[in-house]
């Protein structure tokens, strides 16, 4: 809808502004004004993000202000920017937006829990970006919109206009900069919509720990008995697949908070990868692609308007953005109680870790900070054997505080609410990649079922001498011989050598956290 509400505080003087326009209007705007936009045979809006088809982490900056500087984990993830440069970027973005014949404003919320809800205003120049954030933020009711008032944070998305690469602290024409004191995020030089989504998550990752709320890069679901499970994991570990359980309701697939009341989803929608998507493999996501969904950077046949989900010619990072209620098995509102189980998923391409192991609170902190998975040979040029990947808190790119801050909050909440942590390997068994075989999804689902229904807690365990965690001796629906990974290797000496190699990789990675964490956490790693 067109609106004459006051945007002067944000510096906007554009003549035509659409505020919280309905999807049909945003479709119309995108189709009329944006090159390459089309409607697929499913009714989804197909769009292209231009040159950038993924996030630009090397161009992300945080303003170094005295008030927040002491809190921030400065380094490769959080690169400082001076406030003067930020003001230049903001003025550049506002000037560009004011030259546009029409701009879009989306007001929405981040966080389903009212006490921890953030009012977010997005100001952008593309109808597709407005529809994307209409999906990804929690949508206000008409009454809430009328009384929305001043936002807690404002996003200026002038992604079609470049940053000045000669400005101090700016390294390219792309800049994604946040100022916690100004309560603003400014985007220049990239039209990839995911920068807005992850920008909001970065903001929540800074603000929530100040309120003793743990912000988490994880999925969450809830059973019929109201028991909640969390699933942490990097790309390729099965986080989305395993949390989509027909016997349980999905709370959310990516971003959550854990407060004194329980778990809440941060978002109002899903941003699912859709490369090689099919109705057989992921029916819920496939069925969610309909009117109101944004299909980003997918390839289609313009004559028949048929989407080719297998085509990677634009990018492998093809995406679908849709409101969370498009998923049939959804917990609404998207909240739950304190989690009964916390599951860390890893795809161990070395074939060393067991299919499931039970963690103590200290081990949970260690593996949470480590955030381990492995790349397999052949996935990248020059990768000839498995390579370990560590991403702190299973989402280092979005963490603002030092990882131990989030780990301490996790440990406190696990111990206070009696949650049990587990490490589940969805990778290889019987040898590493190229020698062993990938663990069956059927067996992994049986493990998750046994965790969720409490069966695995009743089973006897034995301690792994090298890694220290407890390995169950049995699991319903899983052959007992595969639960101890050493038993699955023909060459036991080769297993021992590979296990020591992986343990050393863990220990070397953790050295950078030892000065900030307690000795108890360090001692919870491999011996």
Q: For the chain, which ranges sit under pLDDT 70?
A: 1-5, 376-385, 517-518
How far is 271 from 151, CA to CA, in rounded Å?
24
Nearest to 257, CA basis, from 219, 220, 215, 229: 215
pLDDT of amino acid 97 = 97
pLDDT of amino acid 25 = 97
pLDDT of amino acid 520 = 81
SS3 234: coil
Compute, in degrees rounded to 10, the torsion defined by CA atoms 409, 413, 419, 425.
-10
pLDDT of amino acid 11 = 86
- In order of start, what are the domains of the chain with their CATH numbers? 8-211 (3.40.449.10), 338-522 (3.90.228.20)
HSE-up of residue 226 (Cα within 13 Å, Cβ side): 5
Using one digit for the tens of pLDDT, what is the confidence trace for 221-257?
999 999 999 999 988 898 888 998 889 999 999 999 9
Nearest to 160, CA basis, from 96, 85, 89: 96
Nearest to 254, CA basis, from 216, 289, 226, 227: 216
Query: Which tokens hold the place of 255?
Result: 């971003």
Instruction: Count Cβ atoms below 10 Å from residue 303 Cβ, excluding itself.
Output: 6
pLDDT of amino acid 4 = 46
Pairing of strands 184-188, 356-359: unpaired
Query: Which tokens hold the place of 381?
Result: 């040029």
- For the annotated catalytic residues, the residue numbers are 55, 198, 217, 235, 239-240, 254, 319
pLDDT of amino acid 380 = 43
Q: Which residues are CB-contacts of 21 (< 8 A; sequence separation ≥ 6)?
A: 1, 29, 104, 127, 130
Instruction: Count Cβ atoms below 10 Å from residue 13 Cβ, excluding itself.
Output: 11
Using one digit for the tens of pLDDT, what is the confidence trace for 440-495?
999 999 999 999 999 999 999 999 999 999 999 999 999 999 999 999 999 999 99
Query: Which tokens hold the place of 109?
Result: 């919320």
SS3 235: coil
pLDDT of amino acid 384 = 57
Q: Is 404 exposed, middle or buried (0-12, 13-18, 19+ CB in 10 A)?
A: buried
How far is 213 from 313, CA to CA, in rounded Å?
41
How far is 127 from 79, CA to CA, in rounded Å?
31
Task: Give the position of tokens 């927040």.
Answer: 68
Query: Which tokens hold the place of 58?
Result: 């090397």
């Amino acid at each position: 809808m067109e609106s004459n509400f006051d945007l002067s505080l944000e510096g906007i003087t554009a003549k035509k502004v659409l505020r919280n326009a309905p999807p049909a209007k945003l479709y119309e705007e995108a189709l009329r004004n944006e090159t390459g936009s089309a409607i697929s045979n499913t009714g989804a809006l197909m769009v292209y993000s231009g040159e950038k088809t993924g996030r630009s982490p090397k161009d992300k900056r945080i303003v170094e202000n005295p008030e927040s500087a002491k809190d921030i984990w400065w380094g490769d993830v959080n690169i400082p920017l001076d406030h003067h440069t930020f003001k230049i970027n903001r003025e550049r973005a506002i000037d560009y937006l004011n030259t546009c014949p029409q701009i879009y404003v989306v007001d929405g919320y981040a966080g389903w829990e009212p006490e921890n809800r953030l009012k977010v205003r997005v100001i952008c120049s593309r109808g597709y970006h407005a529809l994307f954030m209409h999906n990804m933020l929690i949508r206000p009711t008409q009454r809430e919109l009328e009384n929305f008032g001043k936002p807690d944070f404002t996003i200026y998305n002038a992604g079609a206009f470049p940053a000045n690469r000669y400005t101090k602290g700016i390294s390219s024409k792309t800049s994604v900069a946040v100022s916690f004191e100004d309560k603003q995020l400014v985007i220049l030089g990239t039209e990839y919509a995911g920068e807005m989504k992850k920008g909001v998550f970065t903001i929540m990752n800074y603000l929530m720990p100040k309120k003793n709320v743990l912000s988490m890069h994880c999925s969450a679901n809830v059973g019929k008995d109201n028991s909640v499970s969390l699933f942490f994991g990097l790309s390729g570990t099965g986080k989305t697949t395993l949390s989509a359980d027909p016997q349980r309701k999905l709370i959310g697939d990516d971003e959550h908070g854990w407060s004194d009341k329980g778990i809440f989803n941060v978002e109002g929608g899903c941003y699912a990868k859709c490369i090689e998507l099919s109705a057989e493999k992921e029916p819920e996501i496939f069925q969610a692609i309909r009117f109101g969904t944004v299909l980003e950077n997918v390839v289609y046949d313009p004559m028949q308007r048929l989407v080719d989900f297998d085509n990677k010619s634009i990018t492998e990072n093809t995406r679908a953005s849709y409101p969370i209620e498009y998923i049939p098995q959804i917990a609404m509102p998207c909240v739950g109680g304190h989690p009964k189980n916390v599951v860390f998923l890893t795809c161990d391409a070395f074939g060393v870790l067991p299919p499931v192991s039970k963690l103590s609170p200290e081990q949970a902190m260690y593996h949470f900070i480590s955030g381990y998975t492995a790349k397999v040979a052949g996935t990248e040029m020059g990768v000839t054997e498995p390579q370990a990947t560590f991403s702190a808190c299973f989402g280092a790119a979005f963490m603002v505080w030092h990882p131990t801050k989030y780990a301490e909050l996790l440990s406190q909440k696990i111990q206070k609410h009696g949650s049990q942590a587990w490490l589940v390997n969805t990778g290889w068994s019987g040898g590493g990649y190229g020698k062993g075989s990938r663990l069956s999804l059927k067996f992994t689902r049986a493990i998750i079922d046994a965790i969720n229904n409490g069966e695995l807690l009743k089973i006897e365990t034995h301690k792994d001498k090298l890694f220290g965690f407890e390995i169950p001796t049995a699991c319903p629906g899983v052959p007992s011989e595969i639960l101890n990974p050493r038993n699955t290797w023909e060459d036991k000496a080769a297993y021992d050598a590979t296990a020591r190699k992986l343990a050393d990789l863990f220990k070397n990675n953790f050295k950078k956290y030892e000065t900030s964490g307690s000795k108890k956490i360090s001692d919870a790693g491999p011996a």
